[in-house]
A and B are shown apart, each in its own frame.
Chain A
């Protein structure tokens, strides 16, 4: 790899479960800018079964668009021989391979079991089951379950350092008795990470070392009051790269092509979300909705959390969204009549043919309806699991330990939320930014004053990994070409009757005064660019913004503008809502969501 000053042309790819995206970044007039973008279907499927075929196709598209020759057969051309051709740096992220499927074990389900679950989820894993000494299952049932599930790896925790050893050793004996085989490949031992009582290491080692690929890390709960997740997360990440990603067809070849280690897509997006929060000193919720999974990230009070909703996505897992959300919740976003069987068949066909795109407006509306539900469900999961972690260590009081499940609820505070950032095909590639804006509002239901933005062309994963090798390039491209400011959502809290007056507003946009009244059930947009606009709100009745009845603030517009959302919080909207269809049409018209839709 060249030294940083000499890096002028950067190629970055992201191998998603459905599509492989490529971007070309070039230094233009001393500044790094995105110059071109290409994409091609990911080729992990038979008959190709080689992720690099899709990578080459995505790069070939870049070559066509940019006129720059990048590949000579399967070899990268270096710019040192010809500055108009070749590249200086190639990096990649990947989520191909089907994700990481883990089982976690802890002595007490709501304590070490839950800590282990948080560690696994934070590392980007699907948690298939939690085995605990007190989970109510008999020994043979636990063994049977472990054998059936065939996880990619197991995280075993339990006991505080220096505490009783017998329960965690018993868990290791159950694991040894199950002698689980890994899901992929027959020729390697199942990786087990031991992150429990360090005094029990010798016994755990004796029990498991012959049958498994046992790794020891620091205790996940060294004392009752301290939660230490990072060593387990780091080890999960290492094993994920070495074991699970290595099973994705063609991955070994791709690994040799890149100039730095391939980063899992959720990890790379998380890096960028952390940088936004840090740079702007704000609380952020970020989401990356993919074909198979939806990752939600949040930073509140400098605490970063990540969850992976493993079975909520827009193609491979789309029927899971339908199953968990229910037909009624998907249908509530549609204003045209669609038979239930027609709706479910359309969604199921997307599952079995994941690379197809909506060709008609009706199809697009259905796809965006299900995206709302995928995001809502994923955010619900995030709120449940994003508990009060402090990076490496989490202090807990003794009283908290009796009420573990409540511990996370305080972190995601919607009234404190400053910004929502959306990424993923359905948001970044929505034909209109207004559609992405409305999807984000409907799914996340921000309260008070919240900025909204999207990843312009779904390039946050590539910039996340780029930041680890060339931070300057990543930040320049992020600011100029990646983050699209959509605007600000102003959503008062409180419930009322349709038509009831909620607030009077005064907003100054580039010297022009906009005044008016927002009524309950109504949405309005005031056009404004991404500039500071002074705003004041006089709330009526029981409505409030951040518990205030008079609220003054600076708000920013964007590609959509300043959105006044008068639908109330909590937001109650279902198939039985009176005049549901006309409400949907009104909201769409206010946002200019589907101007070409025939009513």
Chain B
């Protein structure tokens, strides 16, 4: 029988992960194979090209474009300083010469005798990549980066915003209005839905991130100052936010919350980057462990197949967010309320109710 897979999110207390740490352009790798690194260790660096300025020398000197090379006082790849004379016309019988001075410090990138323009590039901007998670260098990708191996707790969210951050896990008691104990290196865990009011208060404290059960789409719109049209995130310049369950009033699954509680005050690496398209990327929270008992996690796709006994979350109305167990998988297609026919599953909810749910609306909860 064909397998019915679901988009399962990992909620794993103990697992091993690999992270590729790649430069945007080729550069230098600073670590060796098998070297142990902490999350902040710089593993590779490069320089990205600086801003450029184009100067129309031909216009400035009132000459034809094809005469530009005769007038240039410096060559391609030559450094120039701000105010330095870089081009001079021959003038008339040696008189009435015109000059062009460089408006910036940089390097001559191009001299064009077609357009009469030159390009001056500003100094390159250095870029460094850190390890992001504590672990061991598993392999080196020549001039591009490294792969880091690590063991620990991994929780994937359903959507997030903001990029990579590191901080200490702190549970935020929703009944506690006193936020004075929050430090700016904290990652706050909120079991319920993040309101805009609470976000504003927390955001003023300059913390590293917030992990919450749910968020209202309109709250997210206010935070981003624009509606999120497509779930491709990670570049936002906001506090990193990771939502574990979805949009609306919804609490974090107990199992997920429990794992956070077991890791209070531990250092975590989080990333809100999400891409729900080809090559999906979910936001994540990782806490490294030194526990040697963690065995290599070999992912088995059968874990994502719905079967009798699977622990599942319902991911669509009218039972959105409820958790239960698969107790029956009818082979026949069933006509549901919309009059469409669908493959369904019979789910026993945590409150002992039983409901028929389209299999497409179920998500297997992956547990270790």
Contact = CB atoms under 8 A, between A and B. Distances in A.
B316 A47 contact: no
Contacts of B115: 166-167, 169-170, 173
Nearest to A39: B2
Interface in A168-183: 169-170, 173-174, 176-177, 179, 181
Interface stretch (B77-85, B261-269, B334-342): B334-342
B52 A140 contact: yes
Interface stretch (B30-38, B177-185, B197-205, B356-364): B356-364
A364 interface: yes
A340 B7 contact: no
B338 A323 contact: no
B54 A61 contact: no
Interface stretch (B130-138, B146-154, B168-176, B223-231): B223-231
Contact of A341 (B22, B218, B320): B218
A64 B340 contact: no
Given A348-B247, A364-B338, A17 B1 contact: no
Interface string B261-286: 00000000000001011111110000
B340 A249 contact: no
14 contacts: A17-B278, A46-B280, A139-B54, A140-B53, A173-B115, A177-B110, A181-B25, A186-B24, A319-B227, A341-B216, A352-B276, A359-B336, A363-B316, A364-B338
A394 interface: no
B330 interface: no
Contact of A357 (B52, B318, B360): B360
Contacts of A41: 5, 7, 360
Given A174-B54, A322-B227, A353-B7, A359 B117 contact: no
Contacts of B216: 341, 344-345
A558 interface: no
B132 to A, nearest CB: 17
Nearest to B49: A179
A247 B277 CA distance: 13
B357 A359 contact: yes
A356 B315 contact: yes
Contacts of B227: 319, 322-323
B159 A352 contact: yes
A143 B52 contact: yes
B316 A349 contact: yes
A333 interface: no
B54 A359 contact: no
Contact of A173 (B53, B119, B276): B119
A358 B316 contact: yes
B304 A186 contact: no
A186 B278 contact: no
Given A48-B301, A57-B2, A432-B339, A316 B277 contact: yes
A349 B320 contact: yes
B93 interface: no
A441 interface: no
Given A40-B2, A60-B1, 7 more contacts: A17-B278, A143-B51, A173-B119, A186-B25, A248-B279, A349-B315, A431-B338
B361 A357 contact: yes
B65 interface: yes
Interface in B208-232: 216-218, 220, 226-231
B154 to A, nearest CB: 12
A356 B359 CA distance: 9
B201 to A, nearest CB: 21
A344 B246 CA distance: 12
Given A173-B110, A174-B54, A361 B338 contact: yes
Interface string A315-338: 011011011100000000000000
A355 interface: yes
Contacts of A203: 114
Cβ-closest 3 pairs across A and B: A320-B229, A45-B280, A431-B339
A585 interface: no
> Which one of B1, B114, B320 has the greatest number of beta carbons of chain A within 10 Å?
B114
Contacts of A60: 1-3
A153 interface: no
A347 B217 contact: yes
A49 B52 CA distance: 39
Interface string A418-435: 000000000001011000
B299 interface: yes
Contacts of B119: 173, 177
B122 to A, nearest CB: 9
B112 interface: yes
Contacts of A53: 301
Given A166-B65, A173-B54, A353-B315, A320 B338 contact: no
A317 B52 contact: no
B112 A173 contact: yes
A203 B119 CA distance: 16
> Which one of A48, A186, A356, A432 has the greatest number of beta carbons of chain B within 10 Å?
A356
Interface string B235-249: 000000000001110
Given A45-B7, A177-B54, A429-B340, A351 B231 contact: yes
B158 interface: yes
Contacts of B110: 173, 176-177, 207
B340 A357 contact: yes
> Which one of B49, B248, B316, B320 has the greatest number of beta carbons of chain A within 10 Å?
B316
B284 to A, nearest CB: 11
Contacts of B60: none
Given A345-B248, A357-B340, A352 B158 contact: yes
Given A352-B246, A363-B338, A316 B276 contact: yes
Contacts of B1: 60, 64
Given A186-B22, A354-B276, A47 B301 contact: yes
Contact of B316 (A43, A96, A181, A357): A357
Nearest to A38: B2
A97 interface: yes
> Which one of A47, A181, A340 has the greatest number of beta carbons of chain B within 10 Å?
A47
Interface string A238-266: 00000000011100000000000000000
A200 B65 CA distance: 15
B5 A352 contact: no
Given A17-B277, A431-B338, A359 B317 contact: yes
A531 to B, nearest CB: 27
Contacts of A139: 52-54
A293 B360 CA distance: 21
B2 A186 contact: no
A342 B217 CA distance: 9
A104 interface: no
B250 to A, nearest CB: 9
A165 interface: yes
B342 A44 contact: no
